[in-house]
Structure 1
């Protein structure tokens, strides 16, 4: 029987844990809100310089390449030096990167297309180098959450992603609109570049600075056992992860999933622009819809399912749904015209797209939470940051290779990235089924 003092301490610990969880999720939300602001305009921004869509993929790859190099390093630093300083560094770096990104038009005027693209690539590479905030946030959550509650808590990170994509694209579309640009030109001094591309970038920078201030003022360092400093760099960390029988298949799963899903991430906006004829605002509304689905799936559905099913089963179910969605996505207009009626003024083609995106969002949510929980279970308590950093690095490697390949084949055949992604996802499903059976055999 617990004493009143023990009960009070337990209650205080629970309150502190909830406060820490809410704070770190709030910081991630603010940072992702800024990222969501940029997503609908980025392909149009690149196209404004008169270059091939392949540069959209190369720009995404540059971000992922530096994230691949630095995410494991930041994960290790967060284990050794603390989660809070790494989170603060990452969001401050994002603020600098978004500022440079917004100056692309100025570099174009001064140095031409090469200068503009150089600025965009420099900005995205800096953002990638500082992009360890999600892995560190996941490690932070495992620090303050009991093991039996981690799948549900990690699902909140996915819900936070969704909220960023609910409000971010809509906010970005509003800021990029002609009336907003006209008002900004009247308000800001002449030396501030104002355009439908610079304003969302500067807004994203401001939001990242807000996240930095919030971390400095309100985010405590979690109480945990810190790992002593260890030698070895990126290669050593990956070698250690691949030598671990429990972590090795998960590192490979993150690599292949990221390679497959990059077909959707990179080709989706050009797809709806070319096939559906949508502009930045309409693309932003679609991303807002995906964000709403993400919040519902990961904040409600995944949390409920995580209490009933093992992490491995969540991952298998999510990968299977993602496979179906990737197969159907490029053919949504044909499927809608053949199988669906128009409803409330929405065309059958649009309805089919919305249904496929719902399946895709559900699959992505289940897969992300399931695999993140599997990583947490496979890693020791003092190496959670390193484990998440290595798996995020593997995902970044997949996104480094995937976007140039996917945009290259998109230029040739628009449906090819989605079907290649489906093929790779089928490999992931098979691998996760094997892991599920192995887990059941040792249970």
Structure 2
């Protein structure tokens, strides 16, 4: 394994360093995306309530809330590269254990099986703070005037992960692949529609770890002080900063609203549209494809013409409309005239695809613009801490959102989406105020 010193020596251009960290994030997020289509079905296979889907998502986010600020500050004082490698190694272990939960259920009973699910997800959440470190890495190697476009590449890596990840997960969960793998591996290795995507995620995280170990340099940057700041102290410090306060609150509310929608969309697609894990994976791949275009190309171009605060307002409004429309997409589709073409391309599906495009556009614009606003509001030696706190705020929102939205889904399938849209209203107000205090960027 390469040493930090040798890795630093290979830092030839910021562009190469940026490409490497984006590639590492991409591999890790493909692994994350692999598991998404099967997770609700995996939970349902244990014979527990859908509320456990939300609780499982919340356990991940709770640990991310605790550890993201810690990893961010650690990356400021000890280095970006070692923190990324630590988190990737933890992800390898977490996904492997997650894939074995079904075997634990069969051998030791329901309590042990569910506990294994939660333990693995909590470990994955604790290691999930690597995105804050990756964002800080990008800020280290990118000048301020190109930072929005560069941070958009991290967002594009997210989206590409959701192109390839769910598609791979749906493929690994298919009957043909499961049957084929069972004929190739020893009986001691579980090969099910739930274990294979989990093990696939572990392999991808391992590849990301190896890529970071051998090819990712430690960037030249201003190192923060090694002072100890408690988790609560970090948030108090951020909330006391007038430039960061509104963005921290916005990250919390956005995650609170959107996380519940993300978690409950797959049950919604299964219950309302009749989709299975593979069909849902195809739709998520479509969303990921749009997100990659939005964040990798469109956001960067828009950021050269308009202030990030104004782009964030537009993104928040688009996302609000998309969330409010989503649960009623079948009803809206039935109001349209009949469509020509293949029988599978229904009016209801058309509305769902259009709404998904609007959702992807709004989410891409809002997330990248918010990240850029945080980066420009923080000093050079506190980038990791700022991103860690905002990611921690997002994780806190994702801790509260999924179980609350899962409980609302049990009451009525449309509740999580409508409430999510309502929660976005104060975000629009916060960002509109920030936009009023700034001057739009001049076209280059």
TM range (shorter): over 0.9
Partner of 1:132 in structure 2? 129
Distance in 2 separating the partners of 1:272 and 1:65: 26
Partner of 2:339 in structure 1? 342
Please, which of 169, 172, 183 is the counterpart of residue 172 of structure 1? 169
Partner of 1:401 in structure 2? 400
Partner SS state of residue 335, structure 2 = helix
Q: CA deviation at 1:396?
A: 0.3
Q: CA deviation at 1:342?
A: 2.3
Distance in 1 separating the partners of 2:11 and 2:169: 37
Gap runs ≥5 in structure 2:
1-8
Q: CA deviation at 1:295?
A: 0.8
Partner of 1:424 in structure 2? 423
Distance in 1 separating the partners of 2:285 and 2:214: 30
Partner SS state of residue 242, structure 2 = coil
Partner of 2:388 in structure 1? 389
Partner of 1:111 in structure 2? 108
Q: CA deviation at 1:72?
A: 0.2
Partner SS state of residue 51, structure 1 = coil
Change over 3 Å in CA distance of 1:14–1:340 after alignment to 2:
farther
Please, which of 311, 330, 341 is the counterpart of residue 333 of structure 1? 330
Deviations 1:162-189 (A, max 9, x none): 1111111111111111111111111111
Q: CA deviation at 1:436?
A: 1.0
- Between stretches 296-305 and 408-417, larger displacement belongs to 296-305
Partner of 1:203 in structure 2? 200
Structure 2 length-normalised TM: 0.95
Distance in 2 separating the partners of 1:324 and 1:227: 41
Gap runs ≥5 in structure 1:
1-11
The question of whether the paired residues in 2 share the 8 Å contact of 1:271 and 1:414 is answered with: yes
Distance in 2 separating the partners of 1:236 and 1:344: 59
Q: CA deviation at 1:13?
A: 11
Distance in 2 separating the partners of 1:189 and 1:281: 26
Please, which of 278, 294, 304 is the counterpart of residue 281 of structure 1? 278
The question of whether the paired residues in 1 share the 8 Å contact of 2:307 and 2:438 is answered with: no
Distance in 2 separating the partners of 1:37 and 1:429: 32
1:81 lines up with 2:78 in the alignment: yes
Matches within 5 A, 1:85-100: 85-100=82-97
Q: CA deviation at 1:15?
A: 5.9
Instruction: Supply the RMSD in Å over aligned alpha carbons.
Output: 1.5
Q: CA deviation at 1:266?
A: 1.0
The question of whether the paired residues in 2 share the 8 Å contact of 1:141 and 1:153 is answered with: yes
Partner of 2:185 in structure 1? 188
1:255 lines up with 2:252 in the alignment: yes
Partner of 2:364 in structure 1? 365
Distance in 2 separating the partners of 1:24 and 1:440: 32
Distance in 1 separating the partners of 2:24 and 2:378: 25
Distance in 1 separating the partners of 2:66 and 2:158: 23
Partner of 2:225 in structure 1? 228
Distance in 1 separating the partners of 2:340 and 2:292: 25
Which portions of structure 1, spanning 4 or more consecutive aligned residues, are displaced by more than 3 angstroms? 12-15
Distance in 2 separating the partners of 1:341 and 1:380: 56
Structure 1 length-normalised TM: 0.95
Q: CA deviation at 1:344?
A: 2.6
Change over 3 Å in CA distance of 1:63–1:343 after alignment to 2:
farther
The question of whether the paired residues in 2 share the 8 Å contact of 1:67 and 1:132 is answered with: yes
Please, which of 42, 46, 51 is the counterpart of residue 45 of structure 1? 42
Partner SS state of residue 41, structure 1 = helix
Distance in 2 separating the partners of 1:227 and 1:158: 25
Change over 3 Å in CA distance of 1:343–1:407 after alignment to 2:
farther
The question of whether the paired residues in 2 share the 8 Å contact of 1:342 and 1:351 is answered with: no
Partner of 1:6 in structure 2? none
Distance in 2 separating the partners of 1:342 and 1:58: 40
Distance in 1 separating the partners of 2:81 and 2:301: 30
Distance in 2 separating the partners of 1:394 and 1:143: 22
The question of whether the paired residues in 2 share the 8 Å contact of 1:340 and 1:352 is answered with: no
Distance in 1 separating the partners of 2:307 and 2:433: 14
- Between stretches 65-74 and 103-112, larger displacement belongs to 103-112
Count of residue pairs the alignment pairs up: 431
